[in-house]
Amino acid sequence: MIARYTLPEMGAVWTDENKYQTWLTVELAVCRALAERGVIPKRAVAVIARKAGFKVKRIEAIETRVNHDVIAFLTAVAEQVGPESKYIHFGLTSSDVLDTALALQLKEAARIIDAKVVGTLALIKRLARKHKRTPIIGRTHGVFAEPTSLGLKFAVWYTELSRGRTRFLAAAEDIAVGKISGAVGNFANLDPVIEEKVCRRLGLKPAAVSTQIVQRDRHAAFLTALALLASSLEKFATEIRNLQRSEIGELQEPFAAGQKGSSAMPHKRNPITAERVAGLARVMRGNALAAMENIALWHERDITHSSVERVIIPDSCILIDYVLQKFIGILDKLVVNEKRMLENIYTSGGLVFSQRLLLKLAGPAGSREAAYALVQENAMKAHGGNGNFRDLVKADRRITALLSAKDIDDCFTLDYYLRNVPAIFKRVFK
C-alpha cells in the first residue's frame, strides 16, 4: 500500500525486515522442536540461535540469481550461521515457513485492528448516549419520514459494528494456524508432534490437516471480514456525508484550523475524510473477491494465490487500520447541529407528524381509509405550497369536528417519537 495510507504500527508488520524476521522465528522454533525430539543436535541449535541473522539487501541480491525468495533467505542465513545451517529448514517445504509466518503476521495485524474497532465502538456508544433524546428527522428513500432520535442512529451503527467485530474475531482465530507438514501435507519427513510443538511455541494452533499449504478459505474469510468492517464504516461515513449536505446541515465532519476545502472556492468545507473512508472500502471489497479466487488451487497446491496475497493481505490490513483511524477522528470531533435538526423537522409545517394524526383520526373517522383521505388531502395541499400543514389541519372543519384542538396539538409533539428510545438502549447497551 502506498505510504499515504500506511500508519507506522501496521506498516511495521508488513515490512520485508519483519517478514524475514518472522520466517526466522518459525525456522528457529522448528529447530528447537527437532532438537527436543533428538532429530538434530541441541548444540547445533544453540549455534543457530546465536548466529542466525540476515540482511534484506543480501536476500534480494541472492534472489535475483536463484529466483526463489525462501531459498534466497535460507542462503543468506546460512552465510551467517556456517556449517550448522544444514539443520535449518530440515524436512520443511517453503510453505511450512511462509504460511506459519503469515499466520503470525496476521495475528499481530488482528490485534492492532481490533484495538481500533473497540475504540470506534466506544466513541459510537458515547455519541449514542449523549444524543439519546436528540430529535432528528428520519428519512426513507431520502425523503422526510418521521422524527427519530440521533442516538438511535448511533445505536444502529454500534450494533452493526459489534456484529462486524464478532465476525472479524472469528476469522482472526481461524487464520491463526500453522502447518509444519511437508511438501504435500503428509508429514513424510517430520513427525506431527513437531508441528504441534512449533505451533504451541508460536502461539498458533496446528491445522487439523493441510496440503502443501494452509487452505485459503481461511484467508478469504479474514479478508471478507475486513471488507465487511470497511463496508459498515462506509455506510456510516455515507450517512455523515449526506447529513453534511448544505441543504441538510445536520452533521459535519471536523474541519481543522488552517484546513482548506477547495483550491477554487474558499467557502468550501467538504466531507473529504468520510469520502476517503467510502472510497477505500471499495478497494477492500475488491481484495476480498481476489481472496475468494485464491481458494481453488490445483491439487495439493499451485502458486496462483501467492502473487495475489503479496498485494491483498498487507494492503487490506493496512487499509482497514487506516480507515478505522480516520473514522475515529471523525467521530471524536463530529459536529452535531441540533438547531438545524429541529428546524428540519418543522420545515414542512409538521408534515412529518401525519401518521400520528392518522392514528388519532382512525377511530373518530369510522375507518382508517377515511382518516387517511382527510390527512393526505391536507398533506398534498401543504406539499403544493398552499399552506402550513398544521394550520391546514386546524382549519379543516371535518377534522376539528372529530378531534379537539388539544388532540391535534398532541399529534405534533416530539416526545411521542422518543418515548421508547430508552427501552431500545437497554437492549443495545446491556
CA distance 273 to 238: 11
* DSSP for residue 265: -
CA distance 323 to 318: 9
Domain, as residue range, for 313: 103-188+211-347
3-state secondary structure of 138: strand
Tell me, yes or no, whether 265 and 303 share the same domain.
Answer: yes
Are 31 and 48 within 8 A, CB to CB? yes
CA distance 107 to 87: 28
Tell me, yes or no, whether 338 and 355 share the same domain.
Answer: no
User: Would residue 12 count as lying in a domain?
Assistant: no
* From 141, 246, 299, 307, the catalytic residue: 141
CA distance 17 to 54: 9
Note the helical H segments in 134-255. 150-175, 192-202, 217-243
CA distance 422 to 129: 10
Note the helical H segments in 37-81. 42-51, 56-66, 69-81
User: Would residue 154 count as lying in a domain?
Assistant: yes
CB contact set of 197 (below 8 Å; sequence gap of 6+): 32, 33, 36, 37
Tell me, yes or no, whether 387 and 306 share the same domain.
Answer: no
Alpha-carbon 407 to chain mean position:
47
CB contact set of 36 (below 8 Å; sequence gap of 6+): 197
Tell me, yes or no, whether 281 and 377 share the same domain.
Answer: no
Domain count, the chain: 2
pTM above 0.85, yes or no: yes
**Where is the domain boundary, 317, 347, 377?**
347
Task: Look at residue 145 in the predicted model and tell me its pLDDT.
Answer: 94
CATH code: domain of residue 357: 1.10.40.30
**Where is the domain boundary, 318, 347, 376?**
347
Task: Look at residue 1 in the predicted model and tell me its pLDDT.
Answer: 63
Does residue 367 carry a catalytic annotation?
A: no
CATH code: domain of residue 137: 1.20.200.10
What Cα–Cα distance (Å) separates residue 3 from each residue in 10, 65, 425? 11, 29, 41
Does residue 141 carry a catalytic annotation?
A: yes
Task: Look at residue 2 in the predicted model and tell me its pLDDT.
Answer: 85
CB atoms within 10 A of CB 43: 10
All three cell numbers of 193, joined, read 508432534
Alpha-carbon 235 to chain mean position:
11
Tell me, yes or no, whether 355 and 272 share the same domain.
Answer: no
User: Would residue 355 count as lying in a domain?
Assistant: yes
User: Would residue 134 count as lying in a domain?
Assistant: yes
User: Would residue 258 count as lying in a domain?
Assistant: yes
First-to-last C-alpha distance (Å) of the chain: 39
Alpha-carbon 372 to chain mean position:
44
Could you tell me the maximum CA-CA distance found in the chain, to the nearest angstrom? 103
All three cell numbers of 1, joined, read 500500500
Alpha-carbon 36 to chain mean position:
42
Tell me, yes or no, whether 264 and 369 share the same domain.
Answer: no
User: Would residue 222 count as lying in a domain?
Assistant: yes
User: Would residue 33 count as lying in a domain?
Assistant: no
Write out residues in the chain with pLDDT < 50, as ranges: none
Tell me, yes or no, whether 107 and 238 share the same domain.
Answer: yes
Tell me, yes or no, whether 144 and 166 share the same domain.
Answer: yes
CB contact set of 373 (below 8 Å; sequence gap of 6+): none
Tell me, yes or no, whether 251 and 327 share the same domain.
Answer: yes
Tell me, yes or no, whether 113 and 165 share the same domain.
Answer: yes
Tell me, yes or no, whether 360 and 279 share the same domain.
Answer: no
3-state secondary structure of 68: coil
Checking DSSP bridges between strand 177-178 and strand 205-206, what pairing results, if any?
parallel
Tell me, yes or no, whether 136 and 182 share the same domain.
Answer: yes
* From 68, 262, 367, 383, the catalytic residue: 262
Q: Which of 243, 246, 305, 238 is nearest to 274 (CA)?
A: 238
The amino acid that residue 430 corresponds to is K
CA distance 70 to 109: 22
Q: Dihedral of CA 162/166/171/177: which sign?
A: positive
User: Would residue 27 count as lying in a domain?
Assistant: no
